[in-house]
Amino acid sequence: MDFTLSKQQQMVQKMYKEFAENEVKPLAKKVDAEEYFPVETVQKMAKLGMMGIYFPKEVGGAGGDVLSYVMAVEEMSKVCGTTGVIISAHTSLCAAPIFENGTPEQKAKYLPKLCSGEWIGAFGLTEPGAGTDAQGQQTFAVDEGDHWKLNGSKIFITNAGYANVFIIIAVTGTVLDKRGRKQKEISAFIVERTDPGFKVGKPEDKMGIRGSSTCELIMEDCIIPKDRLLGVKGKGFQLAMATLDGGRIGIAAQALGIAEGALDETVAYVKERKQFGRSISAFQNTQFELAEMKARVDAAKFLVYQAALKKQSVMDGAKARYSVEAAEAKLIAARTASDVTRRCLQLFGGYGYTRDYPIERMMRDAKITEIYEGTSEVQMMVISGAMLK
Amino acid sequence: MKAIVCVKQVPDTQGKVAVKADGTMDRAAMATITNPDDLNAVEAALQLKDETGCEVVVVTMGPPPAEGMLRELIARGADRGVLVSGREFGGSDTFATSQILAAAVNKIGVGPEDIVFCGRQAIDGDTAQVGPQIAEKLHLPQVTYVTDIKKEGNSLVVKRQLEDGYMELKVNTPCLLTCIKELNNPRYMSVSGIFECYDKPIDVFDYNTLKDDPLIETDTIGLKGSPTNVYKSFAPPVKGAGMMVEDAAQLVGILNDKHLI
């Protein structure tokens, strides 16, 4: 596997690093402490093409590649996990399913505005009673001739408070499976914030990624035009699962970035912090901790980049799937992020436990990567499922 | 209408300074960046492009790897680049450099509405001579230390920073402006700019391209054409920056931050 970055990839990485350092890092503490959704950062990222990195120019994208997108999430997450997930959810969970499943009209209507950042995107699958059991959907959509009527609610929706476009998964009827048992027929829809009967509920008070806008969505006799069905009727569950395969690469990149950012902070701290008359970096415990964490972070990085390259090959026309690569990347990167941030905090000692240093925020931000877009247990189901097929 | 921007690749002074045995800087051993003031010059040209749709051409004299810097400037929004490169040009001081750059700008062509932008000075030599010398050799009016530019028809109203104030001047095009960091905030490269920058043209001007220009003679360019020579380069001994403390509370705060108390 060749991870040599192309000249363009080296240039985007350089730009992301400068942008993260100058524009994102100074806001990270406020974003966390005040649950502040960094609107101005989103506008700046949009101007630089970061809200549609790997989509082609024809649909308004920046004409980049999947690895350049993954590196954007990674670099932003090094300094602010919230900023990383804003890009990831917008790109992977909203723009990507429209790009991959939309009609030419849907692509023309939504992608230029999403890629330019004029509109922000979100994705609604999870419900109060349908988390990991995503097939237990209660939201339903009824075909009423010239429109669809949606009823139900979604929870824990990333970007919800600021999103203009939502991909909503809903039940559209019942079908009989191969053995003649009744099954829910699930479909995907594009819903706009201004559609009648659509409401965004109150934001969640979260442990980490506190600036990320996570809200409930409520649909009460929500009326949307017929042409908002995304993909094939009855294939919504498959669409959601394929979308999450891509989303997991973004979250894996977020986890990777958080772990790398924590290590960067820790390396600087242990050189400066003195105990027993010398820097704590002179102690073998510190050195061995850093060494093992670095090796684990690099291992995670290879899995994340591998998944990105696999998705790129599919974008380039290869007939392949990247579910397993994405699941492996997310499983390992998320576990590494939680583990590394916790161990880094230990090296910071008492200071690390205070909010004067970013490390406790990074530890809180890391935890969500083991939960959303499929828990680590779901990733293991995906990986073992493919092994035991 | 076009904007021609002269830029220089300089050693990154954040890194360590390497000096060769002959006293000159070992540029190959040091990380490079685009000279900071030159980024303000590029930004000024790009803002003019945003306003008028003019073409932006970035020019540099340097070894072949300087092409990388030109690509980055194209990724910020410049339309094309010119790399002035040749063994004959090596060892040039500010006089010889401005001979060569003026010939290159001539070759690109300065039209009646065009503006040549330079940074005030480069962080390696800190002379602030090349921009003004190019203007003299091209017989262009020049305004140095520019902090504000307004376009009014065929002329520019330019604010010039002085030590104890500023001066506002009206200057006709074509002209040359040297820019300082107070002029603007340079933009980042954009993702789409980066993915397109290798499709845009970069012309290489070597000795043969420029030799017919009257400015180019064997005794006006390169080491031979340089009236000044570097006697010695060295990194000054590191001295910790001192700081004035306002009161005891601030001092306690600093010691506390450093975990000394």
| A86-117 per-position pLDDT tens digit | 999 999 999 999 999 999 999 999 999 999 99
Which residue stretches of B109-183 are H helix?
130-138
The token duo for A219 is: 């649909």
For residues B50 and B105, what is the distance between their CA atoms, to the nearest angstrom? 22
Q: How many CB atoms are closer than 10 A to CB B107?
A: 16
pLDDT at B126: 84
Question: Looking at chain A, which residue has its C-alpha nearest residue B75?
Answer: A11
Nearest to B86 by CA among B233, B229, B198, B218: B218
Terminal C-alpha separation, chain B: 63
B253 to chain A, any CB pair closer than 8 A? The answer is no
For residues A115 and B61, what is the distance between their CA atoms, to the nearest angstrom? 37
ipTM > 0.90 (yes/no)? yes
Annotation says A373 is catalytic: yes
DSSP string, B178-226: EE-GGG--PPPPPHHHHHHGGGS-EEEE-HHHHTTSTT--TTTSTTTT-
pLDDT at B174: 95
Which residues 142-201 of B have a C-beta within 8 angstroms of A?
Answer: 188-198
In this complex, the residue of B71, B190, B258 whose CB is nearest that of residue A48 is: B190
* Three-class SS state of B37: helix
Q: How many CB atoms are closer than 10 A to CB B142?
A: 19
pLDDT at B240: 77
Give the mean pLDDT of A217-231. 98
Q: What is the mean pLDDT of chain B?
A: 92
pLDDT more than 90, % of chain A: 96
Nearest chain B Cα distance for residue A140, angstroms: 40
Nearest chain A Cα distance for residue B215, angstroms: 36
pLDDT at A3: 83
For residues A55 and A246, what is the distance between their CA atoms, to the nearest angstrom? 13
Nearest chain A Cα distance for residue B204, angstroms: 20
Q: Please check the confidence at residue A368 and state whether its pLDDT lies above 90.
A: yes
Inter-residue contact A62 to A101 (CB < 8 Å): no
For residues A81 and A257, what is the distance between their CA atoms, to the nearest angstrom? 8
Contacts of A64 in chain B (CB under 8 A): 191-192, 194-195
Higher pLDDT, A181 or A74: A74
Q: Please identify which residue in the block is written with the tokens 């997450």.
A: A77
Q: Please identify which residue in the block is written with the tokens 């985007």.
A: A12
In this complex, the residue of A19, A57, A72 whose CB is nearest that of residue B188 is: A19
Per-residue pLDDT of chain B (261 residues; tens, 9 = 90+): 999 999 999 988 777 778 887 777 777 788 899 999 999 999 999 999 999 999 999 999 999 999 999 999 999 999 999 999 999 998 889 999 999 999 999 999 999 999 999 999 998 888 899 999 999 999 999 999 999 999 988 899 999 999 999 999 999 999 999 999 999 999 999 999 999 999 999 999 999 999 999 999 888 898 888 999 888 877 778 777 788 888 999 999 888 888 888
Q: Do A7 and B72 touch (CB under 8 A)?
A: no
Q: What is the mean pLDDT of chain A?
A: 97
The token duo for A36 is: 């502040």
B261 to chain A, any CB pair closer than 8 A? The answer is no
Q: Please check the confidence at residue A288 and state whether its pLDDT lies above 80.
A: yes
Nearest to A123 by CA among A224, A253, A220, A217: A217
Statement: the pTM of the whole predicted model exceeds 0.95:
no
Q: Do A49 and B191 touch (CB under 8 A)?
A: yes
DSSP state of A215: E
Contacts of A63 in chain B (CB under 8 A): 191-192, 195-196
Q: Do A11 and B194 touch (CB under 8 A)?
A: yes
Residue-wise pLDDT for A44-87, tens only, equals 999 999 999 999 999 999 999 999 999 999 999 999 999 999 99
Give the mean pLDDT of A330-359. 98
In this complex, the residue of A47, A63, A274 whose CB is nearest that of residue B195 is: A63
Side chain identity at residue A12, one-letter code: V
H/E segment holding residue A275: strand A274-275
pLDDT at B242: 82
Q: Do A47 and B190 touch (CB under 8 A)?
A: yes
Q: Please check the confidence at residue A137 and state whether its pLDDT lies above 80.
A: yes
Q: Please check the confidence at residue A210 and state whether its pLDDT lies above 90.
A: yes
For residues A90 and A112, what is the distance between their CA atoms, to the nearest angstrom? 13
Contacts of A18 in chain B (CB under 8 A): 188
Q: Do B191 and A12 touch (CB under 8 A)?
A: yes
Contacts of B192 in chain A (CB under 8 A): 49, 57, 61-64
